Amino acid sequence: MERLKRRGEFLEVAGQGRKWAMPGLVLQALHRPDDGRAPRYGLTASRKVGGAVARNRARRRLRALAERWLPEAGQSGTDYVLIARAGTVTRPFDALEQDLRTALERVVAGRPARPSADRPRGGRREARS
């Protein structure tokens, strides 16, 4: 499978695409209807995931998932970005697979994410004296 490598490609998927968050990963997808090429994917893991070893392990696990599931479950002409979360490293691999399958179903089905107005928000914390 072809990979997304340039920052601009990642930003385009993040800015114009759909996303779905799961406990083990976040999936972003941008469909290009005029493009009939195979799905492409990119991986990212921020420092919130952990040190370099943890980030590399998270990316390896996400790469294995992407190469296994995206060719058969992904839509042609779609760019996918898999974002590691803190739980990506410790989550069982079969649970990560289920997270990816669920996220793919939700993104492909076009289910909208909950509007931000419906999301519960924490109240303001008072400053401690």
Which residue from 87, 76, 77, 85 is spatially nearest to 43, judged by alpha carbons?
85
Lowest mean per-residue pLDDT among 41-45, 51-55, 101-105, 115-119: 115-119
Give the span between the Cα atoms of 86 and 58, in whole angstroms. Answer: 9
The rounded mean pLDDT for the chain is 86
pLDDT score recorded for residue 116: 44
Q: Among residues of the chain, what percentage have pLDDT more than 70? A: 83
Higher pLDDT, 127 or 35: 35
Q: Residue 129: pLDDT above 80?
A: no
pLDDT score recorded for residue 32: 82
Helix (H) / strand (E) element for 30: namely strand 25-31
pLDDT tens for 63-122 read 999 999 988 888 888 999 999 999 999 999 999 999 999 999 998 776 554 444 444 555
pLDDT score recorded for residue 115: 45
Q: Residue 50: pLDDT above 60?
A: yes
pLDDT score recorded for residue 126: 56
pLDDT score recorded for residue 76: 86
Q: Do β-strands 40-44 and 25-31 pair in parallel, antiparallel, or remain unpaired?
A: unpaired
